[in-house]
């Protein structure tokens, strides 16, 4: 009898995690560069059930049974978000549509070959250095310029240039007077290069990244394939824009309600088992 109780309880936990994931997406719907997260659930390994008698010959195979379900992981959806014009010189938005020879990606940013191999579309990220000196990646391009000319993110991370050093504007030059070129170089109104080029990193498999908070990502175990964007790749950085989150508000509302209904269904199953156990303990026991 308790098998169903355990299954329903695990279902409630999985739906609670799914609910938390969706609510986190909704709360970040206005966060620049935020990437939607989906909770992935899977069943526990199947077990073989048998009817067992006294002798081995009396054992009869009944079938297979999956005991429960669990929320295995949360996957980020690294699709392009819509752009919003802010007209702020310190705001930057990445437009990324990287192509791979011989591979056609679907709307979800992945390709499945005939033999079942899954390839994810590479994505571009701003490269930053957090306060502890570690390199991180972000799509949130709402930057600020400090009094000493450093270009920084909202959490205090330095935006890196192609030389691997934090971007610093020359003294006396305002970001409002600079324009970002197609190869991510800053030039002044006269067209003069000030010697600063923004580093845009290409992540071959964005699912190798894990969230670290404040819109930053890092590689799992600091291992992953990354390189600087090369000339001719379909990458554009637009100044005066920010990338909106790619959360689908309508779908998030549906998923939120679905998780709630599934949670309630499992809850009713547990109530049923509780009532059955109560009768077994209080009524059958007296007989």
- For the chain, the structural domain boundaries read 2-76+256-286, 83-243
The answer on pLDDT for 10 being more than 90 is no
Residue 52 binned pLDDT confidence (cut-offs 50, 70, 90): low
Mean pLDDT of 55-80: 71
Tens of pLDDT, residue by residue over 18-46, are 999 999 999 999 999 999 998 888 777 76
The answer on pLDDT for 58 being more than 60 is no
Q: What is the pLDDT of residue 241?
A: 95
Mind spelling out the 3-state secondary structure of the chain?
Answer: CHHHHHHHHHHHHHHHHHHHHHHHHHHCCCCCCCCCEEEEEEECCEEEEEECCCCHHHCEEEEEEECCEEEEEEEECCCCCCEEECCCCCEEEEEECCCECCECCCCCCEEECCCCCEEECCEEEEEEECCCCCEEEECCCECEECCCCEEECCCCCEEEECCCCECECCCCCCHHHCEECCCCEEECCCCCEEEEEECEEEECCHHHEEEEECCEEEEHHHCCCEEECCCCCCEEEEECEEECCCCCHHHHHHHHHHHHHHHHHHHHHHHHHHHHHHHHHHCHHHC
Which of 109, 119, 155 shows the shortest CA–CA distance to 136? 155
Q: What is the pLDDT of residue 89?
A: 92
Tens of pLDDT, residue by residue over 248-268, are 999 999 999 999 999 999 899
Q: What is the pLDDT of residue 261?
A: 94
Tens of pLDDT, residue by residue over 74-132, are 788 888 999 999 999 999 999 998 888 888 888 778 888 888 888 889 999 999 999 99
Q: What is the pLDDT of residue 185?
A: 92
Where is mean pLDDT largest: 135-144, 213-222, 275-284?
Answer: 135-144
The answer on pLDDT for 285 being more than 60 is no
Where is mean pLDDT largest: 2-16, 57-71, 126-140?
Answer: 126-140
Residue 62 binned pLDDT confidence (cut-offs 50, 70, 90): low
Mean pLDDT of 3-16: 84
Tens of pLDDT, residue by residue over 167-224, are 999 888 889 889 999 989 999 888 888 889 999 999 999 988 999 888 899 998 777 7
């Amino acid at each position: 009898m308790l098998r169903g109780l355990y299954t329903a309880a695990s279902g409630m936990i999985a739906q609670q995690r799914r609910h938390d994931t969706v609510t986190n997406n909704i709360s970040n719907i206005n966060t620049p560069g935020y990437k939607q997260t989906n909770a992935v659930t899977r069943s526990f390994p199947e077990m073989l059930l048998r009817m067992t008698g006294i002798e081995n010959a009396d054992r009869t195979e009944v079938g297979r049974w999956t005991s429960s379900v669990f929320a295995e992981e949360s996957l980020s959806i690294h699709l392009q978000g819509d752009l919003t014009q802010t007209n702020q010189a310190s705001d930057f938005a990445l437009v990324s549509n990287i192509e791979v020879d011989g591979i056609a990606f679907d709307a979800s940013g992945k390709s499945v070959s005939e033999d079942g191999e899954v390839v994810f579309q590479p994505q571009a990220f701003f490269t930053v250095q957090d306060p502890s000196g570690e390199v991180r990646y972000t799509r949130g391009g709402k930057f600020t310029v400090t009094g000493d000319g450093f270009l920084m993110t909202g959490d205090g991370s330095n935006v890196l240039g192609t030389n691997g050093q934090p971007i610093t504007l020359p003294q006396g030059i305002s970001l409002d007077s600079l324009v970002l070129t197609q190869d991510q170089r800053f030039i002044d109104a006269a067209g003069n290069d000030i010697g600063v080029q923004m580093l845009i990193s290409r992540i071959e498999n964005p699912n190798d990244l894990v969230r670290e908070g404040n819109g930053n990502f890092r590689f799992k175990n600091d291992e992953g394939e990354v390189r600087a964007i090369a000339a001719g790749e379909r990458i554009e950085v637009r100044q005066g824009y920010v990338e909106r989150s790619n959360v689908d508000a309508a779908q998030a509302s549906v998923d939120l309600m679905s998780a709630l209904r599934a949670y309630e269904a499992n809850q009713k199953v547990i109530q049923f088992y509780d009532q059955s156990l109560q009768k077994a303990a209080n009524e059958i026991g007296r007989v």
